[in-house]
Chains A and B, each alone.
Chain A
Amino acid sequence: MLAFIIKRTINAVFVMLSVTFLAFMIFQFVGDPVRQMLNEQATQAQRDALRDKLGLNDPFLVQFGKFVGNAVQGDFGVSFRNQQDVMTMIADRFPATFELVLVATFISIVVGMPLGVLTAIRRRSWYAESLQFVSIIGISLPSFVVGIGLILVFSVWLGWFPAFGRGDTVDIGWWSTGLLTSSGRMALFLPALSLSLFQITLVMRLVRAEMLEVLRADFIKFARARGIPARVVHFRHALRNTLMPVVTMTAMQFGGLIAFALVTETVFQWPGMGLLFIQAVTFVDVPIMAAYLCVVAFIFVFLNAVVDMTYAIIDPRLRGSEQ
């Protein structure tokens, strides 16, 4: 058990080191910081002094080591564009992205699970088959097209929801939330719906597949034979057994959604980390790009590692296969 946790942790650390290396390489690619920091009249001696001070004459590995050391402490330097501390900028934008992803995940579970159960227990009915068909379309639709469609219908034509921004926010400590004001909730609705659509179809297909599997099991047949009502069999016995995979997938997808939210944030001009990143990409603002890459990859890798470890604790069969 302990061996597995250690192994999995080393694996995660290795992946994070590789990602940090990628971020470090972006800096190496994108030119000489000395030229950006000194003006035209600087002498060669001044340049050399600054190069020395910044540690740019150190061996490659030493520079990378310093970069990792700073990154671990959350120090990615200052933005090329407005000289602000990059980590503070990202931390300011984090609540917006987090709330968006959280609500999208919530919607996908609340809508996706009942649909999955329905398509599983009424498998042969016309509505279950058409839902299954629609779900392929749902998986194929590009998320930004869904967003534009929602804006076109609900903001431009019907005028029910705002099309951009976050509405009014309330600060709780350093966390700014839009969930407590009505304009914040209205503004959140369309982006969250558009981000969750793909997730809804994923949850629905997963619950359906798992339900079909469980419904074939002996203990379900036995429960039916004992005359337990179908509703109880389906929801108390069958559905409970599908929860574990759903929770796992949701947790694993959460990190992916945080990254993918950047598309939704661009469509809805949602002031989250993703929008910050896309704007940084336009201006080749390398410190922000590198920091965003590391932060998102960290969330992604961390969640995956935690899920794997939780699984190993709950399900001993997995431990055996890893050794």
Chain B
Amino acid sequence: MANLEHRKPAAQPTRLQRFFDGDLWWSFKSHKAAVGAAIVLLVLIVTAFLAPVLSPQNPYDLSSLELWNAELPPVWIEGGRMPFLLGTDVQGRDIVSGILYGTRISIIIGIASVAVSLVVGILFGLIAGYFGGWVDNLLMRIGDVLLSIPIILVAILVSSIAQAFLPPHLREAGVAAVLVLSIAMYSWVQYARVVRAQTMVERRKEYVMASKLVGTPARRLMLKHILPNTMTPIFVTATLNFGLAILIEATLSFLGVGMPPNQPSLGTLIRIGNQYLFSGSWWIVLFPSLQLCLLVVAVNMLGDWLRDALNPKLR
């Protein structure tokens, strides 16, 4: 008998392989700034989330602070000593540890506020675009009003007033949530506008008509059929907004209406360090500032590249 060994069909490329063969990956590889930014961002995120393992000290544990370690300069300057690589602040808190934990808080708040505004924005955008009429009018007018007040004012007002009304036992845990909401309150409008515009185009197309005819419920139609077609611009906006969210959180914390000193984000660290600017202890403010700049610049460079790479006009 002839050997009728069953031949395997040619392997289907997996999703991952297709991604690495695709245009986007190629464009990424050939863009030096994007690769650099991605590496920096990856290092920052990994070190931030490994903060409890990496940092020589737990900055929240007051018993680990020793006052004779206070205001030590970085190690390469006379008077500095290990393990305080970048020196200590006036309470004897290690700057490196503070930065790592602070970056973690900044990143978490950034991600959370992007996530909240994405969900709200997509939901409102779909509803407004799909149903039209007075719902559309109401949601979009609210958005218009929000966008016609400077963003920083909205965030400060919401954050400060909400914090004043948090019950004392919730204050510790609630501050981060308040910050997330006050940032998300503004940025959902952008997503809602994009999704709404796209939905209004899509819902008149034949495939939507067809699935309406076979009785697909509105909810399924919006989420399964219309939403995937709006994802590309949403993705770019979300990346750029992530950078913006980190910036706003840092600014609020710097102004004193953000994270409190016992759970410092990068902005809080800069606020604390700023008080010692004139006493010669420049390292307390300088290193958290550099970390914040690095983080935001990396995110924005990736966003900038992504916007160009996904823009069909520039291909």
Report whether chain A binds chain B: yes
A: which residues have CB within 8 A of B?
14-15, 18-19, 22, 26, 29-30, 133, 136-137, 139-145, 148-149, 151-152, 156, 163, 255-256, 259-260, 262-263, 266-267, 278, 281-282, 284, 289, 293, 296-297, 300-301, 304
Name the residue of chain A whose CB is nearest to the CB of B247: A142
Q: Which residues of B contact A259 (CB under 8 A)?
A: 150, 152-153
Instruction: Choose among B157, B251, B289, B301 the residue that contacts A148 (Cβ–Cβ < 8 A).
Output: B289
Contact of A281 among B156, B165, B278, B297 (CB under 8 A): B156
Q: Which residues of B contact A14 (CB under 8 A)?
A: 141, 145
Query: Which single member of B145, B255, B296 contacts A140 (CB below 8 Å)?
Result: B296
The answer to whether residues A136 and B156 also contact, given A15-B148, A142-B293, A256-B150 and a CB cut-off of 8 A, is no
Collect the chain A residues with CB atoms within 8 Å of residue B243's CB: 140
Size of B's binding interface in residues, CB under 8 A: 39
Q: At the interface, is chain B mostly helix, strand, loop or mixed?
A: helix
Q: How far is the CA of A80 from the CA of B270 in the complex (A)?
A: 30
Shortest B273–chain A CB gap in Å is: 8
- What are 12 A-B contacts with C-beta separation under 8 Å? A14-B141, A26-B157, A139-B300, A143-B251, A144-B250, A145-B293, A148-B274, A148-B285, A152-B277, A152-B285, A284-B160, A300-B149
Q: Tell whether B33 is near chain A: CB-to-CB under 8 Å.
A: yes
Cross-chain contact B164 with A145 (CB below 8 angstroms): no
Closest residue of A by beta carbon distance from B299? A140
On whether A145 and B292 interact (CB within 8 A), knowing A259-B153, A263-B251, the answer reads yes
A304 CA to B141 CA, complexed, in Å: 17
- Nearest CB in chain B: distance from A288 CB, A: 12
**Per a CB cutoff under 8 Å, which of A151, A282, A289 touches B157?**
A289
CB-defined contacts of A300 to chain B, threshold 8 Å:
148-150
Beyond known contacts A141-B297, A142-B296, A145-B289: 17 more, CB 8 A cutoff: A22-B149, A26-B161, A30-B161, A140-B243, A141-B296, A142-B247, A144-B250, A145-B292, A148-B270, A148-B289, A256-B150, A259-B150, A260-B152, A263-B152, A267-B274, A281-B257, A304-B148
Query: What's the least CB distance linking A9 to chain B, in Å?
Result: 14
Closest 5 CB pairs of A and B: A259-B150, A18-B145, A140-B300, A140-B297, A145-B289
| Most B C-beta atoms less than 10 A away, residue of A30, A152, A255, A267 | A152
Whether A156 touches B255, Cβ cut-off 8 Å, given contacts A145-B270, A148-B289, is: no
The answer to whether B164 and A30 have CB atoms under 8 Å apart is yes
Chain A residue numbers with a CB within 8 Å of B256 are 278, 281-282
Bound CA–CA A293/B148 (angstroms): 12
Cα distance A297–B154 when bound, in Å? 11
Are the CB atoms of A15 and B145 closer together than 8 Å? yes
A29 contact set on B, CB distance < 8 A: 161, 165
